Amino acid sequence: MRDTWIHFVRLTSFLNQFQFRIIMKILTRITTLLVIAIFLFSTGGLTGQADTSPEKAVRTATISKDFIIQLPENQEDLADVYVIDIHALSFPSKEKLERFCQSFSFDFQTITGDFTKQQMKLELDLSVLRAKGITKQQVANYLKLGARRMALFFNKSDN
């Protein structure tokens, strides 16, 4: 009986050492994977920043005091993004600019505003435009038609 007990104690001791080694290997691997994941996130490897798609074309557009957005005439194709200087519009607050941009972001366009820089960014979903066969001239006309609604929205006292 005593020999059995000694063998049991030795076996238990061996298993504890074996389990300890396995746990240490697992922890080492987990630590290594965490370090790799942190590195990839910090460099954009897992966040989508290392996207293989081409860079979005950014161009400058203008907006009149009547809210007519004018795309540049010297390029015949549409850009993904247009940056628009809005100093002349005199938005009174960041909140009003944000509400304005949200109100006119639909269909194939997204408008965002930067109150500090006094700029708006008009992003076009070119894949939707191409699928529908919409041309640059049609987009320009669409933006001109929306100018009156933009002006009414801007001039409303509760916005």
pLDDT per position as a tens digit, 26-70: 768 887 877 777 777 766 554 444 444 567 778 999 999 999 999
Q: Which residue has the higher pLDDT, 36 or 123?
A: 123
For residues 52 and 124, what is the distance between their CA atoms, to the nearest angstrom? 20
pLDDT (0 to 100) of residue 27: 66
State in Å, rounded, how far the first CA of the chain is from the last one.
Answer: 89
For residues 155 and 159, what is the distance between their CA atoms, to the nearest angstrom? 8
Integer-rounded Cα Rg, in Å, for the chain is 30
Mean pLDDT of 90-109: 92
- Single pTM value for the model: 0.63
Instruction: Give the residue carrying structure tokens 């005199």.
Output: 90
